[in-house]
């Protein structure tokens, strides 16, 4: 892993765009209080294209910028963002972003890492109940007489695979839409499938987006007085 190779000119151009994607999508999901996050799409994108170190920096900067500009709670999650970007870059180096089904495997690996880091932060910083939609899953397990700690761990290991697999598929779908010439400017461009257009991935990604739009519409309708 060549640290300097991760950071060419195109990487520095992509990182701010990726952070913006993270923040905007993350805030939409937080507002909707969905039991997922989807605030790491840009982080995974940079990790896959530019390398583990660039992905890690993107995740770290997302937490810092979001914490300074929007929500101070975001500072607490910087280790999660950092490792998501790093692991995304590593899984790409092992060839897990060449085909749709291996992207799912990559998303699951990222999810396990994220769950292991998120659960202790949620317990220590929030006592188990955080502002995110995952808290309703935690509450459900607590009603089943699980301890707070057990509930947080179970909730994370349910929510994170759904979230990170969706995140990986969305990032991969974005990559499939980029031109071969543009991809060639990144250090890990040879680690993604640039020829097969990943139709299944695009269908799944479109389904995720449509689902989020439907939920958003439902939320908006629910707050409109009759």
d(CA 42, CA 25): 10
What is the per-residue pLDDT for 110? 97
- Lowest mean pLDDT, pick from 42-46, 151-155, 204-208: 204-208
Over residues 102-140, the pLDDT tens digits come to 999 999 999 999 999 999 998 988 887 776 667 788 888
Q: What is the mean pLDDT of residues 80-108?
A: 94
CATH of the domain at 35: 1.10.1760.20
What is the per-residue pLDDT for 31? 77
Task: Give the total number of structural domains in the chain.
Answer: 1
Write down the residue that tokens 């060549």 correspond to: 2
Output the DSSP codes for the chain. --TGGG--HHHHHHHHHHHHHHHHHHHHHHHHT-S-----HHHHHHHHHH-HHHHHHHHHHHHHHHHHHT-GGGGGGHHHHHHHHHHHHHHHHTTTBSSHHHHHHHHHHHHHHHHHHHHHHHHHHHTT--SSTTHHHHHHHHHTT--HHHHHHHHHHHHHHHHHHHHHHHHHHHHHTS-HHHHTTSTTGGGB-SSS--HHHHHHHHHHHHHHHHHHHHHHHHHS--
Q: What is the mean pLDDT of residues 74-84?
A: 94
Is the model's pLDDT at 76 over the cut of 80? yes
What is the per-residue pLDDT for 192? 81
Give the model's confidence band at 81: pLDDT under 50 very low, under 70 low, under 90 confident, else very high: very high
pTM for this predicted structure: 0.87
> Could you list the residue range(s) of the whole structural domain that residue 52 is in?
4-223
- For residue 192, the cross-strand partners are 97
Write down the residue that tokens 């400017």 correspond to: 185
43 in Cβ contact with 84 (< 8 Å): yes
Is the model's pLDDT at 69 over the cut of 70? yes
Over residues 145-169, the pLDDT tens digits come to 899 899 999 999 998 998 999 899 9
What is the per-residue pLDDT for 225? 44
């Amino acid at each position: 892993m060549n640290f300097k190779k991760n950071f060419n000119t195109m990487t520095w151009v992509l990182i701010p765009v990726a952070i913006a994607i993270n923040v905007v999508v993350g805030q939409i999901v937080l507002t909707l209080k969905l039991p997922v996050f989807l605030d790491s799409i840009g982080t995974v994108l940079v990790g896959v294209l530019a390398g583990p170190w660039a992905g890690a920096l993107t995740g770290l900067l997302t937490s810092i910028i979001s914490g300074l500009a929007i929500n101070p709670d975001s500072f607490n999650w910087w280790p999660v963002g950092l490792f998501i970007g790093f692991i995304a870059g590593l899984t790409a180096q092992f060839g897990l972003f060449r085909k749709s089904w291996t992207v799912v495997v990559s998303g699951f690996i990222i999810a396990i890492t994220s769950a292991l880091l998120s659960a202790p932060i949620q317990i220590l910083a929030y006592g188990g109940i955080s502002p995110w939609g995952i808290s309703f899953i935690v509450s459900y397990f607590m009603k089943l007489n699980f301890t707070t700690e057990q509930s947080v761990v179970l909730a994370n290991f349910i929510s994170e695979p759904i979230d990170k697999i969706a995140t990986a598929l969305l990032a991969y779908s974005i990559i499939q839409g980029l031109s071969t010439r543009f991809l060639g400017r990144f250090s890990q461009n040879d680690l993604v499938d640039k020829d097969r257009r990943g139709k299944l991935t695009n269908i799944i990604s479109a389904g995720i987006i449509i689902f989020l739009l439907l939920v958003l519409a439902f939320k908006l309708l629910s707050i409109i007085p009759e």
